[in-house]
Amino acid sequence: MLLLAFLLALSGLCRGEGILPAGHLSGGVGGKVTFRTSLSPPQKPFLTVSWSFKGIKIITSTSTNVTAPEYARRISLDRSTGALELRSLVPDDSGEYSVTITPDGEQQNEGRITLTVYELVTKAVIHSPTLVLIEDQTFTNMSCEASGSIDTRVWTKDDRPLRADGRVSFSINNKTVYIQPVHSSSHGNYKCQINNPVSSATAAYNLTVNYGPHNVSIIGPSSAAPGQRVDLRCTADSIPPALFTWTFNGNVTLVNSTEYVIERLSLDSTGNYTCSAFNPVTMWKNSTVLSLRACCSAPCWSLPLVLLGALTLRLGHFFTSEVSFCLSYYAGASPHRAPLTPGPPPKAPSVQ
Ligand SMILES: *[C@@H]1O[C@H](CO)[C@@H](O)[C@H](O)[C@H]1NC(C)=O
Ligand SMILES: *[C@@H]1O[C@H](CO)[C@@H](O)[C@H](O)[C@H]1NC(C)=O
Ligand SMILES: *[C@@H]1O[C@H](CO)[C@@H](O)[C@H](O)[C@H]1NC(C)=O
Ligand SMILES: *[C@@H]1O[C@H](CO)[C@@H](O)[C@H](O)[C@H]1NC(C)=O
Ligand SMILES: *[C@@H]1O[C@H](CO)[C@@H](O)[C@H](O)[C@H]1NC(C)=O
Ligand SMILES: *[C@@H]1O[C@H](CO)[C@@H](O)[C@H](O)[C@H]1NC(C)=O
Ligand SMILES: *[C@@H]1O[C@H](CO)[C@@H](O)[C@H](O)[C@H]1NC(C)=O
Ligand SMILES: *[C@@H]1O[C@H](CO)[C@@H](O)[C@H](O)[C@H]1NC(C)=O
Ligand SMILES: *[C@@H]1O[C@H](CO)[C@@H](O)[C@H](O)[C@H]1NC(C)=O
């Protein structure tokens, strides 16, 4: 008994939409939409098919067709299923449509469905104040706008979803993103996708945050064999790129590029190499030190280079453990084995 009541209630709910699918149809301005019925083409044609919208009889098809003049050029009726196509959609077409179909020798069927016509989303753009942004010092915002019917906005940064956190917050409806204050991780490519059920448009914006220099480091061996060419390279996380200066044992050098090349390591060129990185926009400076030593002790130092080359082939067999340590250490420390014979002419900048 209960089950029967439940089934009746359920069928009562379904009858709400009748012979039209449950839910809701979406169309775009200028586009078209088809209201399909759930009826299969009958053996004998339907006696009547009639569609109406807001009290207007769009079409009444019996043995003749009566079409409302304003719809004459915009509709097509499929007499076999009762489906109606509506073209050249305008926003005013939004609303509830109803259909009445009378099959030959059967009861009349009815159905209702709601259409929403959306303007296509176009001309999406992100606006942001033109400020020089410096990490931890400046606040900014980005607003996403477009013309058309806007349903949702979804933001990404570097093609990953942008989430609210301690610095990032969204306005209601996601129109504006606030970054308070900006961080080095805020630097990057932002996209805002604006959607409605029939269209979407995406705008992009590169947010430049000046930061650093952070993580200044010198890439290079901390020891190398005498006579060896040594390349030191300084890196820093910095926007804009950092300017570098090098000091050696506390003395300023003329080298102001990322690379510091020692063509042939000598005792005079061992010591403390300091790379200072300077960001001309944030005006911050950071530095790091690499202590470079010759890895061989005195006996090795006096060996001719050619013999040193031969040593690598007979590693540790005939010579002291100190020497073999030096060679194996060197082989491990450098990804590219530098030539042991004199290399190409010295590159400026260099220090002998
Ligand atoms: C009425 O319209 C339908 C669908 O366009 C068409 O198939 C049918 O022939 C028309 N009937 C008359 C009498 O014009
Ligand atoms: C975005 O920031 C600018 C500059 O601080 C401010 O003038 C503007 O009102 C902000 N926009 C919003 C939507 O808060
Ligand atoms: C706001 O953005 C979130 C996630 O980024 C999304 O789930 C939500 O649908 C958006 N809301 C609106 C109204 O655009
Ligand atoms: C953002 O920067 C990238 C890489 O520099 C560039 O390819 C892209 O065109 C820029 N986008 C915008 C909207 O300026
Ligand atoms: C760099 O310098 C700033 C201050 O100038 C300091 O806060 C920061 O810890 C330094 N180090 C790194 C790795 O960024
Ligand atoms: C500095 O290095 C750390 C660890 O590798 C990294 O997480 C951080 O993002 C770096 N900082 C910048 C500004 O790139
Ligand atoms: C550093 O400079 C001073 C003064 O020019 C000089 O006397 C000293 O020898 C230099 N030190 C090195 C290690 O080059
Ligand atoms: C590096 O120094 C040279 C001369 O010493 C100078 O001409 C050049 O402009 C400097 N470059 C930078 C980036 O400071
Ligand atoms: C290099 O720096 C270390 C540590 O600061 C110091 O002990 C050493 O004396 C320095 N060497 C030279 C040659 O300045």
> What residue spans define the domains of the chain?
18-118, 122-207, 212-333
Alpha carbon of 100 to ligand 1 centroid (Å): 17
Question: How large is the average pLDDT for residues 132-150?
Answer: 96
User: Is the CB of 61 within 6 Å of ligand 1?
Assistant: yes
Q: What is the 271 CA–ligand 9 centroid distance (Å)?
A: 7
* pLDDT of residue 174 exceeding 90: yes
Domains 122-207 and 212-333 share a fold: yes
**Rounded Cα–Cα distance for residues 188 and 168 (Å):** 14
Mean pLDDT of all residues in 32-47: 92
Cβ neighbours for 231, distance < 8 A, ≥ 6 positions apart:
220, 259, 260, 261, 262
Q: What is the pLDDT of residue 105?
A: 87
Over residues 278-331, the pLDDT tens digits come to 999 999 999 999 999 988 654 444 444 434 443 444 443 333 333 334 443 443
Ligand closest to 81 (CA) is 1
- Give the residue, out of 46, 71, 79, 80, with the most ligand 1 atoms within 8 A of its beta carbon, to mutate for a pocket test: 79
Q: Is the CB of 184 under 6 A from ligand 6?
A: yes
Sheet holding 24-28, edge to edge: 24-28, 109-118, 95-102, 48-53, 56-61, 65-67
Helix ranges, 184-256 (H): none
Measured from the CB, is residue 338 less than 6 Å from ligand 8?
no
| Encoded amino acid at 47, one letter | L
Candidates 2.60.40.10, 1.10.3720.10, 3.60.21.10, 3.10.450.40; correct CATH number of 212-333? 2.60.40.10
pLDDT band at 12 (very low <50, low <70, confident <90, very high): very low
Confirm or reject: Cβ of 120 under 6 Å from ligand 8.
no
**Mean pLDDT of the chain, nearest integer:** 83
Domain 18-118 classified CATH 3.90.226.10? no
Task: Identify the CATH number of the domain defined by range 122-207.
Answer: 2.60.40.10
